[in-house]
């Protein structure tokens, strides 16, 4: 079996790459071990850059019909009161429509739907081959000339040769091990419960609600559903399961009384998934003819909704590079390093951004909530802070905070947010340009 590219893992990252390679006629095989997807919850929030990439592989129009558009994210700092609606202490909005691009919103789509659309798109091309179920076992050979992988399919071990092997197999990545890429990982002082249930008609926009000690995120999905994440202390999951579903329902009613009649449609604890956030980064993304992308290369705290988006963005850059390498006969392995040069700094930046967002909700102290409210107010009302944050989470560009920006978060210099002007050209200037996304095209 000979291919140009072998992709291990048919998740969103692997399939985005496949749909890009398929379009430029690169002979490739995707190997996916799971017969059935969708058993565990995975990301559903698509950021603007991902929408642009999905448009580029021609799946966005269909995706629009199966997803829910988010123009804003509302954050409420509240105080819970027994038997009545929570008292809003502060309400802030993050407006995606500030982005001067047609991709000026996010979308919520069921993870399996995104995978299916990408898979069906890749299947339209003869350059695409797909083995499922089949799993990567080990490398037989990995050097600068040729890669030979052992794949298990139908109970047999098969040798698959490829010029390039891509590990898109998620957090536990055997290809990463083959590459000897060092993993740095950390965990957090909280876990999440996540579940989808029908949403009340009033819940039409992404809504985050936080008290000093609790956090709930509600993200509308199509078909009148909502994805929710509820923060809990580590170790509480088992004891909560023993207590039955009623306390869970009550926790949602406390935040939003109109949840009555909706959240209680959850029938069993099995529908609720425990999510343990992990952050990991790896020392390198490429080695000889191997590369890793998505969760194999980095895993981020879900607070900023970036994990799946980073996988899509990796696949975009790697896909463009492989197309260029194969169509221009530039398959020297050193060229794979372009992928790492573009994506590693960006991923590390988004990883630290997600980490900071997690810290914002990690300390259950009153003064901390006050600081958070202050920071939220300035983030919303200072045009520079609002745009920077939006740009950074959208994936459309990268504009790091400087010391003065941190001061702006707590209101210094006073009154500047009213005077500060941010012209559209200045905003666009911070968007990634083609030569930054795909710098090898210039050589």
Ligand X SMILES: Cc1cc2nc3c(=O)[nH]c(=O)nc-3n(C[C@H](O)[C@H](O)[C@H](O)COP(=O)(O)OP(=O)(O)OC[C@H]3O[C@@H](n4cnc5c(N)ncnc54)[C@H](O)[C@@H]3O)c2cc1C
Only one of the segments 68-76, 279-287, 295-303, 361-369 lies at the binding site for ligand X (rule: CB under 6 A); that segment is 295-303
Is 217 one of the binding residues for ligand X (CB under 6 A)?
no
Q: What would the two tokens of residue 142 be? A: 């990995």
Q: In the complex with ligand X, which residue's Cβ is closer, 347 or 417?
A: 347
User: Nearest distance from residue 172's CB to ligand X, in Å?
Assistant: 7
Q: How far is CA 10 from CA 14, 287, 393, in A?
A: 5, 21, 25
Among 20, 43, 199, 313, binds ligand X (CB under 6 A): 43
Is the CA virtual torsion 187, 192, 196, 202 positive or negative? Answer: negative
Is 309 one of the binding residues for ligand X (CB under 6 A)?
yes
* Closest listed residue to residue 2, CA positions, set 148, 137, 128: 148
Q: What would the two tokens of residue 435 be? A: 């030569």
* Measured distance CA(78)–CA(221) in Å, rounded: 24
Q: How far is CA 438 from CA 121, 160, 442, in A?
A: 23, 29, 8
Q: In the complex with ligand X, which residue's Cβ is closer, 14 or 289?
A: 14
Q: In the complex with ligand X, which residue's Cβ is closer, 135 or 181?
A: 135
CB atoms within 10 A of CB 170: 17
Q: What would the two tokens of residue 96 be? A: 């995606």
Only one of the segments 19-27, 80-88, 98-106, 168-176 lies at the binding site for ligand X (rule: CB under 6 A); that segment is 168-176
User: Nearest distance from residue 351's CB to ligand X, in Å?
Assistant: 11
Instruction: Specify the 3-state DSSP secondary structure of 214.
Output: coil
Sequence-ordered list of residues with C-beta below 8 angstroms from that of 373, at least 6 positions apart, any chain? 77, 89, 90
Q: In the complex with ligand X, which residue's Cβ is closer, 42 or 389?
A: 42
Among 14, 220, 289, 395, binds ligand X (CB under 6 A): 14
First-to-last alpha carbon distance for the chain, in angstroms, is 33
Number of chain residues interacting with ligand X (CB under 6 A): 33
Across the beta sheet with 278-282, what order do the strands follow?
Answer: 183-187, 278-282, 298-299
Site string for ligand X, 262-291 (x = CB under 6 A): -------------x----------------
Only one of the segments 75-83, 162-170, 322-330, 377-385 lies at the binding site for ligand X (rule: CB under 6 A); that segment is 162-170
Is 136 one of the binding residues for ligand X (CB under 6 A)?
yes
Is 395 one of the binding residues for ligand X (CB under 6 A)?
no
What DSSP state is assigned to residue 125?
A: S
Only one of the segments 9-17, 69-77, 92-100, 235-243 lies at the binding site for ligand X (rule: CB under 6 A); that segment is 9-17
What residues are paired with 281 via a beta bridge? 184, 298
Among 25, 86, 174, 222, binds ligand X (CB under 6 A): 174
Q: How far is CA 7 from CA 182, 245, 327, in A?
A: 21, 41, 18
Is 298 one of the binding residues for ligand X (CB under 6 A)?
no
Among 77, 129, 287, 306, binds ligand X (CB under 6 A): 306
Is 42 one of the binding residues for ligand X (CB under 6 A)?
yes
What DSSP state is assigned to residue 352?
A: H
Is 295 one of the binding residues for ligand X (CB under 6 A)?
yes
User: Nearest distance from residue 140's CB to ligand X, in Å?
Assistant: 15
* Measured distance CA(257)–CA(87) in Å, rounded: 12
**In the complex, which residues of this chain contact ligand X (CB under 6 A)?**
8-14, 31-34, 40-43, 45, 135-136, 168-170, 174, 275, 294-296, 302, 305-309, 311
């Amino acid at each position: 079996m000979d291919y140009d590219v072998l992709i291990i893992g048919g998740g969103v990252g692997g399939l985005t790459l496949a749909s890009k390679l398929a379009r430029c006629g690169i002979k490739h095989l995707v190997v996916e071990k799971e017969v059935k997807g969708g058993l565990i919850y995975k990301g559903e929030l698509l950021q603007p850059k991902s929408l642009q990439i999905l448009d580029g592989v021609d799946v966005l129009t269909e995706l629009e019909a199966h997803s829910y558009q988010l123009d804003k994210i509302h954050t409420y700092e509240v105080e819970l009161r027994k038997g009545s609606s929570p008292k809003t202490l502060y309400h802030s909005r993050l407006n995606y429509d500030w982005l001067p691009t047609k991709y000026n919103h996010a979308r919520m789509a069921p993870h399996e739907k995104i995978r299916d659309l990408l898979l069906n798109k890749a299947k339209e091309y003869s350059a695409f081959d797909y083995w499922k179920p089949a799993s990567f076992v080990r490398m037989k050979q990995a050097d600068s000339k040729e890669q030979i992988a052992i794949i298990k399919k139908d109970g047999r071990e098969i040798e698959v040769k490829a010029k390039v092997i891509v590990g898109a197999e998620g957090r536990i990545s055997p290809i990463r091990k083959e590459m000897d890429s060092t993993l740095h990982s950390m965990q957090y002082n909280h876990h999440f419960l996540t579940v989808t249930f029908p949403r009340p008609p009033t819940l039409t926009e992404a809504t985050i609600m936080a008290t000093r000690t609790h956090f709930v995120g509600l993200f509308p999905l199509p078909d009148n559903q909502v994805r929710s994440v509820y923060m809990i202390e580590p170790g509480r999951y088992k004891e909560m399961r023993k207590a039955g579903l009623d306390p869970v329902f009550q926790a949602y009613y406390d935040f939003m009384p109109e949840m009555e009649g909706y959240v209680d449609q959850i029938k069993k604890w099995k529908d609720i998934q425990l999510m343990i956030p992990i952050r990991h980064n790896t020392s390198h993304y490429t080695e000889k003819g191997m590369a890793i992308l998505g969760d194999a290369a980095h895993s981020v705290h879900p607070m900023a909704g970036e994990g799946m988006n980073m996988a899509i963005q990796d696949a975009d850059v790697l896909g463009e590079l492989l197309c260029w390498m194969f169509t221009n006969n530039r398959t020297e392995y050193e060229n794979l390093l372009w992928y790492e040069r573009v994506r590693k700094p960006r991923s590390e930046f988004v990883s630290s951004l997600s980490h900071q967002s997690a810290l914002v909700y990690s300390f259950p102290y009153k003064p901390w909530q006050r600081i958070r409210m202050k920071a939220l107010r300035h983030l919303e009302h200072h045009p520079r802070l609002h745009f920077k944050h939006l740009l950074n989470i959208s994936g459309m560009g990268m504009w790091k905070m400087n010391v003065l920006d941190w001061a702006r978060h707590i209101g210094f210099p006073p009154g500047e947010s009213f005077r500060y002007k941010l012209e559209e050209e200045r905003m666009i200037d911070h968007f990634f340009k083609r030569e930054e996304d795909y710098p090898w095209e210039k050589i």
